A and B are shown apart, each in its own frame.
Chain A
């Protein structure tokens, strides 16, 4: 599984990445977390509001900081 965090590096993206890490920890799962910060790459996912979370190339949520609980549900 690959988790991508899309965002140009504002504090919200950092928070989302932290939540994703914690969600993985709490589930005891491993996954690669990739930060996508280049605007060209972010835009190819069709979103305009960052931060966004992408799991296995599917946009799961955008324009908000998903909570640890929400991310857990996405992973499962």
Chain B
């Protein structure tokens, strides 16, 4: 099979061995080669994924989605909500307007949560970085399980019938009818291009820092060091998920670091649980959601999503 990333390896080799004139046997050469290659690959995939998903997003707006999901029942619509969650933005500042808009349009709470859980968990930027670092196979597994957590998590929350635990003002908001904005092809492409630059500007520092740290760890930490400590302990998965909650903004940089830990023996399920907690249960998101959810519903949301993530982690440690 042709390796589409081959040009990046060629470039990384040129930089390390020709430009910097390092000997291939040294740790330093290995680390620099690794960092240059990974950074190029990540940026290439980020540009590709963000552009593609943003273009799709210009068609599937939340305004259209809530019309589609209003008054619908059944797990099939949890699935649709989760699917739409994949292509909507992962910025935590948009989760409150989305939540209110859905509730106002009569979208049942459980289906709204399927959307809210999947939206940050499976986003194009994380997909791009996972793909670059862990490969396509693990990325597909991540996406499938991310969506499953959204579908099942939302469905379970729906069963609890917690409509009372939504902040009262949410039900009082009456919004005007909105004229759907018409967009030309050119505007959609410009939108997609702008999304690429906005997101890259936000994450490039974390990515370079993360890849560098990961590269150093790869080069210098002894093999299997983590298998010894974080190995098969049953507690590893929930602890990893707990640590993940306050680490939101660094998720793009987190992925390369986690990969280097996996290479040194951190079980893959534990790693997955950590990354999922970082994205799905971020502290800023929880704080923002407090505006629209009463404490009981927040706790339910965190508990259901957290349990789903921990179970996913165990499943992977067991299978792989």
Contacts and interface: CB of A to CB of B under 8 A. Distances in A.
Q: Do A and B come from one complex?
A: yes
Interface in A11-37: 12
B100 A43 contact: yes
Contacts of A59: 178-179
Interface stretch (B33-41, B89-97, B213-221, B225-233): B89-97
B194 interface: yes
Interface stretch (B58-66, B129-137, B152-160): B58-66
A42 B169 CA distance: 13
Contact of A44 (B91, B93, B96, B173): B173
A39 B291 contact: yes
Nearest to B174: A44
B178 A46 contact: yes
A8 B96 contact: yes
Interface residues of A, number: 23
A44 B63 contact: no
B169 A47 contact: no
B44 interface: no
A45 B176 contact: yes
Contact of A42 (B66, B97, B178, B181): B97
A50 B61 CA distance: 12
Nearest to A9: B93
A49 B97 CA distance: 7
Given A44-B173, A47-B63, A62-B181, A39 B91 contact: no
Contacts of B66: 48
Contacts of A7: 93
A30 to B, nearest CB: 26
A46 B97 contact: no
Contact of B191 (A10, A12, A43, A64): A64
Contact of A39 (B63, B100, B104, B190): B100
B97 A43 contact: yes
A55 interface: no
Contacts of B91: 10, 12
Contact of B178 (A39, A40, A45, A67): A45
Interface string B165-201: 0000100011111110100000000110010001000
A1 B312 CA distance: 54
Given A39-B97, A49-B61, A44 B198 contact: no
A45 to B, nearest CB: 6
Given A39-B291, A48-B63, A49-B62, A10 B93 contact: yes
Contacts of A61: 181
A43 B94 contact: no
B22 to A, nearest CB: 39
B98 interface: yes
Contact of B98 (A10, A44, A46, A48): A48
Contacts of B190: 67
A53 to B, nearest CB: 11
Given A40-B169, A63-B61, A46 B194 contact: no
B108 interface: no
Interface of A: 7-10, 12, 39-40, 42-50, 59, 61-65, 67
18 contacts: A8-B93, A8-B96, A40-B173, A43-B104, A43-B173, A43-B175, A44-B175, A45-B176, A46-B175, A46-B176, A49-B62, A49-B97, A49-B98, A59-B179, A62-B181, A63-B61, A63-B62, A67-B190
